[in-house]
Structure formats: C-alpha cells, structure tokens
C-alpha cells in the first residue's frame, strides 16, 4: 500500500462523532470506530463474518436495496442518473462496464465534458471477469455481475460540490438511518485506490466482517509511477447493492439473497441435492478468512468447516464444491443474459470473446455436475427473473436464447474435436504449459481441463491453474488504444505530423457545404509536398471514409492532390510533387466531384444500412468496421449466425424503401450528454469522438450517429442500393459489400457481361444460359459417378493383377505400378484404399508428367510400424537424385526423366534391405 499522510484520513466528522483511530493488532490496518472493543477493522480477512448477528432492517431484495440507496441520495440533493449498458459502448479502451466511474470516463473525468448532473446518484450494472474462477467458492464475496450503487461529486477549481467530510457523513447516515445499523458497529478503514490512471485515498466501510462500500477521493493522476494532483477532484463511491441485500437478509450465501427462489429452481434443474445446513452455517462463518488464490487457505477452509460442522473433510469438500458450481452457474447465467441483452454477440474477439468465455465456463460447470439441462433454459429463467429490473432482457429475449443455443452447439462441436486437436499439439510439443492451454482455449476453444485430461492420458501431465479463466479474461479486458473518429494513423512522416500540429484548426468547408466543388483559401504553411491552408474543401481520410482527390493551383502552378490527412485540428494536403508556395499565398482548390459524390452516397447509405440491420437482424447488430470509397461501401456487423439470402433480400428491400421515401439528411452539433441521453449509445456505431460537442448525422426518423463524414442531403439522392457480396469474416462478424447510385447500374452491366461470357463458354443462346448450365452440371455429376466407378475398378484390378507378385522384404510387401491417373489427390486416395486393405504393403504409384516422374508412396499400418517412408525416400534419392520427402506412412519423390515402375519397385526393395 502507498504511504499516505495520516492527515488525509483525519476528518472533522470523526472528531465530532467521537470516532477513534486504531490499528489492527493482526491485520495492521488503520481504521476509525466508535467501538472501544474492536481491535481489528471489521473486514475480511481480519475477522470472520458475523453480520448475521448485526441489528438492521430486515429482508431487502436487490431491487429494494437499490431503490433505498437511490432515494436516500435523491433526498440529499443528488440527481438520479439512469444506468448505462454493461458493454461500454462509449469507451474504446474497455469492453465492459466494470464500475460506476467507467460511465464518466474519460470524457467527464478528464474535464472535457461536464457530468450529466453534479452531484449525481446511479446504480450501475457492472461485469468483472478477473475473479471468475472464485465465484461460488467464496459464497458471494466474488461475482461476475453486480450492481455498483454510487454517488459522485465532481469538484472543479471554481465550483466545489463536496469532498471527504460530506461523503463520509452521507455514508454514515445511509447505513444508520436507512439500513438501521448501530453506529458503533460501522468501521471506516483507511485505504488507497488506483485505477484507470487515477488514484486517491479511500475509506472501506465494513460491518460485521462484510465490506459494504468504498469511498474514493480521486485527486491524482498516475504518470510513470508518480502521482500528480489534478484540478478536477472526484468523489467516486461504490456500494455493493447485492451486499446490501445479503446484509439485510442474513442468508447463508449472497446467492440466496440475490436470486431467491431461483436457487431452488436451479438446484432442481441441475440435479444438485440440498446441502447439510450445519455445513453451510459453518462455511458462512469462516468464508471471510478464505483466500481462494491460496491452495493452503482453501485446504484450511475445508478443514475448519468440517471441524465446526462435525463432519469429515472430504464430505465437506464435496458439498462445498458442488454448491460452488451451482452458485457459479447462477451467477454466470445472469451475466450472460445481461451481456447479450445489451447486444454483445459471442465471438472470438472483443467483448464477444468475453461473453463466450462466460458461457463456456458455465457449460463446463454444468458438465462437472453431470447436468443435462440446456444452458438456454437456465438463461431464460434468469432473463425472466430480472426483466422488471432490466427491460432490455425482455426486448431482446429471442436473440439471447438463440445466441446461447447456438453457442452450446458450437461448444459441443469443440468437445468432439478436442482429442484430435490436443493430440496434434502434443506431436508438435512433447508437453503443454499454461501458455499452451491458454492458446488452445483462445484459438480452438478447448477447455483447459479437457486438454489436461487428454495430455495426461498420453503421458504428458499438465496442471491447470485454479485461476485459468481469470487469466484469460485479464488478457481480453479491452482494446489496446483509443481511436475516436478514426483519425489515428495518418501514414505521414513523423516530422510532417509534428510540423502540422503547430497550426490551428483548418476551417472545414466540406462540412459547411459538402456540395462545394471548388474553393479559394490562404496557405498557412508548406513543407515539401505537404500543404496546410486556413480552410479546405478536401475531406481527409477518417471515419471509414476515404480522402478526396483533386487539384490545387498556387502561383500559376497546378498540383495533383493524392492524399489528405487530419493531424490534430489541421488538415494536411499531400501533392504528387513538391509545392512552391509561401504562407499567405492564395490557393485555388478543386476536388474530383464525381468521385466525392459517389463516396457521399456510399457513406449515407451505410447509415441507412446499419439502422436497417438493427431492425431486420436485431438490436445486437453493431458496426464492427466500415469503409466508403468511390467504387463501393463495406460494412462489418456483429451477428451470431451467417446471413441467408432471405436476410439479404430483406435488408435490400428496407434500404431501398428508405431511399424511395426521400428522407431528409442533416448534421448538427450537440452536447455529448444531451446526445447520449436523447439518442442512446447507437450514436457511436462509427467510434467515440473525444469531443465536448458531437457532430451528429440525422436520417429523418431512421438513424442518428456521431460522424465526421460527408453526406447527401436526401436519401433519394442515394439513387439505389444493391448488396454485391456477403460473408462471415470471423466468429460473430459478417461483412456486407454494396453499391449505390450509378454504381448499381455499373454493377448490373458487369453482371450482364459476365453472363454473356458464360453463355458463350457453354454455347447457350441468350436467355437459355441457366438451362444450359444446369444440363452441364447434370452431365458433370454423371461423369463423376462414372469416374468413381472406373477408379474403384482400377484399384480392384491392381489388387487382382499385381498384389500377388509384390516383392517381399523382411515381412513387408513392396509394389510399384504405373498410374493412369495424374491428379495427385486421386492418386493419394487410391493409395489410401490399397494400404488400408493390405496393412503390410508399401505401394507406389508412378506418374509420368512432361518427361519427369512423380512417385507417390504409402504404407499400410503394419508396414509403417517397421519403416519410416521419409527415411526410405532419402536412400532412394541418393541413387537417382530428385526431390522428395515425407514421414511415417506417406512420402513422395520427383525425378527428372523417365523412371519405370519396375525400377521404382527395385529401388524401394533395395532401400528396405538397408533399413530392415
């Protein structure tokens, strides 16, 4: 812990109320208390859980605890702010909402944007996966999904709201007045908090062994390990809503308090018998001492519970392990419902990867309980249980259940392939380490326990870390960098970027009038072939839209502009050659208008398309990438299933309907808080700009997005829309490519020309191409059947005519035959059939090709046990030269000139004499 000046924690409130500062005799942590009998801060692992004996209000559900908290702080001058999704759409450096402060990072906490209210109160559903392996084991201390109730105050240099004194006083009043906790049982433990590049002193509030809240006073930024005081000082609190419910219900575990009747429902569906109550009471008492990361602590935990409950250790271990699996499935299924309800699509990357990780861990826990219930049935129970609290679960229930069912199918498929995957890995590496287990899980989805079982059965034992899934989750916490409007990598030389940043903001005429074709400006600076002017009509690459091209004229010289980039607020024009100009010179600009107009059409129709996708495919459809060029548009969207032709037809119909309706398109600058409150987070389809005001693009009654690009003024100008290709580019992401405007006619013309070429190739009259191709396909299928019969007959002929005369060398038959087939795959298939029927045979098929000889060689199982064909081919090559290689039961050889089958057979037999 960082050494902090004790004065940071010395409050007038403590003096006024008679609190005394103490230091724990065992835990050695400082705390403030009214109780002269407390020698330890009342928090784990310093003391056991004893909050079941603490007087308080009785039996608050999660919903009641949430409302009690929000109402209390509303009465004390805080504005209630609605929660955000559990997927952090407003962040580009984080996938999941892990705390209430994440809602206000980085825009508010950096001082760029004011908070939506000040002070405010919120109850934010959050997901943290770093401790996923501990869920259930600690009976409720660890959860993957939880609500962080919080009150925040943002103190600016010119406006102080409140700081430590008021924060601690409010916490004390909430716990004593609302929860009815005796004042002398509340402890404020001194602590230090760091996260997200910020830090500050904090108090952890604990009662009866259970931490109920953390009060953070964010006053520093962390730079290279140093603490720099920041002007904006933030009260960042966190109250565990589920812990408040547990505290007031005093149930054996937090899961009973959170899920109520669902505990018994899941117990019945999963086939988990009810545990011994004495064991659960004993587990409650000592669970606070448990450190699940320490195997020794876990062993002591089971032994202590067994001693208190009067049972044997193995029985207790079995009961608590089974209960932990039940509780983890309860927790994980709620997390899955929340993740998918907020639009996450399971995949092998991004937030989709984390959703898949939770699902597969839940499935693994179910398999360890030998449960046969579909995961979707459990998730549906959760969704229906929490619908009143989280309406998105009801709105998106069909998608949630479909996505879960599909993921379970995929997981079963992985399990079927697991053995061959792991065995192939063991051939490459003799032993598997933790990194190998993570890679097998990351890339192939093989659960670590399954990989370990298979490896152990092959004599290569491997130990699975107890925190395996936590390690994986930590590697996938968020993207590596923040983008923001897509202006990151300009491709300009570093010295040019540094030079360009010296200039102020370039006036963006392309925004003021996207239809402007020419413009007159003043040069601000020139560096070789790079020019910055005071204004420009040239659009820079960014936001998925490619830059403009055109010409500029200055000092009676014309220069072709081939690239345009945004550096800070300046826009840099890149010419084909060095520009002869000085600051103050007048510059005439002219863009390639037809190119720009085509790009505008493709960009505007992209907005129409993503909104159509959300209507046709579901609200989970989210932009995962986009590009708009003169020739076409490309949109990558999140979707859990491959698109069908019916999906494509629906999308085309909807988009073209919007085009025919000639809806108005316009832009407006809107305060970030207002934009988010009014239009939601779908405005960030194309990225999250770090701006106080957002440039929003509106398609009338259809779509609103933050966007830097150029657009037509009416959807009718798009002209028309056609999807020209669609494909699944990765798990959970499908790609659409499309054309708009006159590009639709160009595409149709290209299709006509292609059809004509096909007609000419198959000698079909115009209009009869399809019938002619169908006839050819039928003929081809018949020819394939005939060819298959011929090949089977040939293999049978070889067996009848040649096998009996094969040479025998030390118990192995050797046979070489001239092959009429030249296709290598066909030859390999024939060899496979021969050697599978004759296990002691080494067979070679000799193919003459353009004066050279290709030899394909295979060995039956018994012959392969005696000789490695790779070694055999090396011996042959020493005599005849050529190139070749192989190993085990297959090899090949290629030599220049003619080599007869008899000669090949002789060479192989001689080589065998040397080997066997």
Query: Can you tell me the distance from the alpha carbon of 27 to that of 527, in angstroms, rounded to the nearest whole number?
Result: 64
Q: Which runs of E-coded beta strand occur in 224-334?
A: 226-240
Which 3 state secondary structure label does DSSP give 25?
Answer: coil
C-beta separation of 446 from 454 below 8 A: no
**Which of the four pLDDT bands, split at 50, 70 and 90, describes residue 752?**
confident
**Which of the four pLDDT bands, split at 50, 70 and 90, describes residue 458?**
confident
More confidently predicted of 833 and 708: 708
What are the tokens at 104? 């206000």
Which 3 state secondary structure label does DSSP give 97?
Answer: coil
What pLDDT is attached to residue 139? 94
What is the Cα gyration radius of the chain?
A: 35
347, pLDDT greater than 80? yes
List, for residues 246-304, the tens digit of each pLDDT value: 999 999 999 999 999 999 999 999 999 999 999 999 999 999 899 988 889 999 999 99
915, pLDDT greater than 80? no
Q: Smallest Cα–Cα separation from 566: which of 685, 687, 686, 485?
A: 485
HEC secondary structure over 38-92:
CCCCCECCCCCCCHHHCCCCCCCCHHHHHHHHHHHHHHCCCEECCCCCCECCCCC
pLDDT average, residue stretch 764-783: 84
pLDDT average, residue stretch 542-559: 94
pLDDT average, residue stretch 310-316: 92
Provide the pairing of β-strand 79-80 with 120-127: parallel
pLDDT average, residue stretch 581-593: 96
Long-range (24+ apart) CB contacts under 8 A made by 522-527 are 522/584, 522/585, 522/586, 522/587, 523/554, 523/581, 523/582, 523/583, 523/584, 523/585, 523/586, 523/587, 524/583, 525/499, 525/583, 526/579, 526/581, 526/582, 526/583, 527/496, 527/499
What pLDDT is attached to residue 503? 94
More confidently predicted of 823 and 177: 177
More confidently predicted of 490 and 387: 387
- DSSP string of 659-693? HHTT-BEEEEEEEHHHHHHHH-GGGGTT-----SE
Percent of the chain with pLDDT strictly greater than 70 = 98
List, for residues 476-499, the tens digit of each pLDDT value: 766 644 344 445 567 899 999 999
Q: Smallest Cα–Cα separation from 187: which of 392, 336, 44?
A: 44
Query: Can you tell me the distance from the alpha carbon of 119 to that of 112, in angstroms, rounded to the nearest whole number?
Result: 17
List, for residues 875-913, the tens digit of each pLDDT value: 888 888 888 888 888 999 898 888 888 888 888 888 888
C-beta separation of 552 from 480 below 8 A: no
786, pLDDT greater than 90? no
List, for residues 601-638, the tens digit of each pLDDT value: 999 999 999 999 999 999 999 998 899 999 999 999 99
What pLDDT is attached to residue 483? 41
pLDDT average, residue stretch 310-332: 95
pLDDT average, residue stretch 3-16: 92
What pLDDT is attached to residue 482? 39
What pLDDT is attached to residue 477? 64
What pLDDT is attached to residue 899? 87
Q: Mean pLDDT check: name the lowest of 361-370, 387-396, 473-482, 662-671.
A: 473-482
Percent of the chain with pLDDT strictly greater than 90 = 66
753, pLDDT greater than 90? no
What pLDDT is attached to residue 489? 66
What are the tokens at 93? 């450096």
**Which of the four pLDDT bands, split at 50, 70 and 90, describes residue 756?**
confident
What are the tokens at 31? 């705390």
User: Which residue is listed with tokens 């000789």?
Assistant: 867
Q: Mean pLDDT check: name the lowest of 417-431, 753-767, 846-860.
A: 417-431
Q: Smallest Cα–Cα separation from 350: which of 95, 665, 612?
A: 95
Q: Smallest Cα–Cα separation from 85: which of 390, 347, 518, 493?
A: 390
For the chain, the first-to-last Cα distance in angstroms comes to 70
445, pLDDT greater than 80? no
What pLDDT is attached to residue 887? 83
pLDDT average, residue stretch 658-677: 95
* Adjacent-strand bridge partners of 217: 235
What pLDDT is attached to residue 481? 43
Cα distances (Å, whole numbers) of residue 198 to 117, 143, 230, 231: 21, 24, 9, 12
441, pLDDT greater than 90? no
What pLDDT is attached to residue 478? 64
More confidently predicted of 749 and 431: 749
Query: Please, which residues have CB within 8 angstroms of residue 821's CB and are 6 or more apart in sequence?
Result: 791, 794, 827, 830, 845, 847
More confidently predicted of 687 and 665: 665
What are the tokens at 228? 């720099």
List, for residues 88-144, the tens digit of each pLDDT value: 988 888 899 999 999 998 889 989 999 999 999 999 999 999 999 999 999 999 999
Query: Can you tell me the distance from the alpha carbon of 773 to that of 159, in angstroms, rounded to the nearest whole number?
Result: 78
Provide the pairing of β-strand 883-887 with 890-896: antiparallel
* Adjacent-strand bridge partners of 515: none
């Amino acid at each position: 812990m960082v050494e902090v000046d004790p004065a940071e924690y010395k409050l007038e409130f403590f003096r006024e109320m008679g609190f005394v500062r103490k230091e724990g005799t065992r835990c050695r942590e400082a705390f403030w208390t009214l109780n002269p009998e407390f020698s330890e801060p009342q928090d784990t692992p310093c003391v056991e859980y004893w909050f079941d004996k603490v007087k308080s209000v009785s039996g608050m559900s999660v919903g009641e605890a949430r409302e009690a908290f929000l109402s209390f702080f509303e009465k004390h001058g805080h504005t209630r702010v609605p929660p955000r999704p559990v997927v952090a759409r407003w962040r580009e450096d984080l996938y999941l909402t892990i705390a209430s402060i994440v809602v206000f990072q980085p825009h508010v906490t950096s001082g760029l944007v004011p908070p939506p209210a000040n002070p405010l109160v919120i109850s934010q559903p959050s997901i943290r996966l770093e401790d996923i392996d501990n869920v259930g084991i600690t009976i409720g201390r660890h959860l993957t999904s939880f609500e962080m109730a919080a009150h925040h105050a943002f103190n600016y240099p010119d406006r102080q709201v409140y700081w430590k004194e008021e924060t601690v006083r409010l916490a004390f009043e909430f716990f004593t007045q609302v929860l009815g906790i005796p004042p002398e049982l509340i402890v404020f433990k001194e602590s230090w908090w760091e996260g997200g590049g910020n830090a500050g002193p904090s108090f952890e509030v604990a009662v009866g062994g259970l931490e109920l809240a953390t009060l953070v006073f964010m006053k520093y930024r962390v730079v290279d390990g140093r603490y720099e005081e920041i002007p904006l000082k933030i009260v960042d609190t966190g109250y565990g809503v589920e812990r408040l419910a547990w505290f007031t219900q005093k149930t054996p575990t937090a899961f009973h308090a959170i899920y109520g009747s669902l505990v018994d429902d899941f117990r019945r569906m999963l086939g988990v018998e009810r545990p011994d109550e004495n064991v659960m009471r004993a587990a409650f008492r000592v669970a606070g001492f448990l450190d699940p990361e320490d195997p020794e602590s876990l062993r002591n935990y089971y032994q202590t519970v067994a001693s208190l409950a009067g049972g044997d250790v193995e029985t207790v271990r079995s009961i608590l392990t089974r209960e932990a699996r039940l509780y983890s499935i309860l927790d994980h299924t709620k997390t899955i419902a929340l993740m998918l309800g907020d639009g996450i699509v399971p995949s092998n990357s991004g937030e989709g990867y984390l959703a898949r990780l939770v699902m597969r861990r839940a499935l693994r826990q179910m398999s360890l309980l030998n449960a046969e219930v579909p995961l979707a049935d459990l998730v549906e129970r959760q969704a229906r249980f929490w619908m009143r609290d989280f309406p998105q679960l009801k709105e998106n229930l069909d998608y949630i259940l479909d996505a879960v069912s599909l993921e379970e199918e995929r997981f079963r498929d992985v399990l079927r392939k697991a053995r061959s995957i792991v065995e192939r890995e063991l051939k490459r590496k003799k032993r598997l380490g933790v990194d190998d287990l993570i890679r097998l899980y990351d890339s192939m989805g093989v659960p670590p326990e399954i990989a370990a079982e298979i490896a152990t059965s092959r004599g290569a034992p491997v130990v699975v870390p107890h925190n395996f899934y936590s390690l994986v989750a930590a590697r996938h916490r968020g993207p590596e960098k923040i983008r923001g409007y897509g202006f990151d990598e300009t491709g300009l030389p570093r010295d040019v970027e540094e030079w360009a940043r010296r200039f102020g903001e370039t006036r963006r005429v392309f925004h003021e009038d996207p239809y402007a074709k020419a413009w007159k400006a003043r040069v601000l600076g020139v560096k070789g072939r790079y020019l910055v002017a005071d204004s420009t009509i040239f659009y820079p690459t960014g936001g998925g839209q490619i830059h403009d091209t055109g010409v500029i004229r200055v000092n009676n010289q014309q220069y072709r502009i081939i690239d345009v980039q945004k550096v800070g607020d300046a826009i840099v024009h890149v010419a084909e050659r060095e520009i002869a100009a000085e600051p103050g010179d007048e510059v005439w600009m002219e863009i390639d208008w037809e190119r720009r107009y085509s790009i505008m059409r493709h960009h505007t129709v992209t907005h129409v398309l993503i909104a159509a996708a959300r209507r046709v495919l579901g609200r989970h459809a989210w932009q995962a990438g986009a590009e708009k060029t003169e020739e076409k548009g490309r949109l990558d969207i999140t979707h859990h299933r491959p698109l069908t032709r019916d999906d494509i037809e629906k999308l085309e119909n909807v988009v073209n309907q919007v085009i025919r309706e000639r809806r108005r398109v316009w832009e407006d600058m809107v305060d970030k808080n207002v934009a988010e409150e009014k239009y939601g987070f779908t405005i960030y389809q194309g990225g999250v700009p770090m701006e106080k005001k957002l440039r929003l693009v509106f398609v009338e009654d259809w779509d609103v997005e933050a966007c830097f690009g150029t657009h037509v003024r009416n959807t009718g100008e798009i002209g028309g829309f056609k999807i020209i290709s669609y494909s699944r580019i990765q798990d959970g992401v499908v790609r659409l490519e499309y054309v708009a405007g006159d590009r639709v006619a160009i595409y149709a013309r290209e299709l006509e020309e292609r059809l004509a070429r096909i007609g000419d190739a198959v000698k079909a009259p115009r209009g009869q191409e399809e019938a002619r191709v169908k006839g050819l396909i039928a003929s081809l299928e018949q020819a394939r059947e005939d060819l298959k019969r011929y090949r089977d007959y040939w293999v049978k002929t070889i067996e009848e005519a040649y096998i009996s005369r094969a040479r025998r060398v030390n118990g192995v038959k050797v046979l070489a035959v001239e092959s009429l087939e030249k296709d290598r795959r066909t030859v390999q298939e024939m060899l496979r059939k021969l050697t599978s029927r004759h296990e002691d045979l080494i067979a070679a098929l000799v193919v003459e090709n353009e004066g050279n000889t290709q030899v394909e060689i295979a060995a039956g199982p018994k012959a392969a046990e005696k000789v490695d064909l790779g070694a055999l081919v090396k011996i042959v090559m020493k005599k005849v030269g050529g190139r070749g290689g192989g190993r085990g039961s297959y090899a090949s050889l290629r030599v220049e000139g003619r080599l007869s089958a008899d000669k090949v057979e002789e060479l192989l037999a001689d080589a065998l004499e040397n080997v066997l």
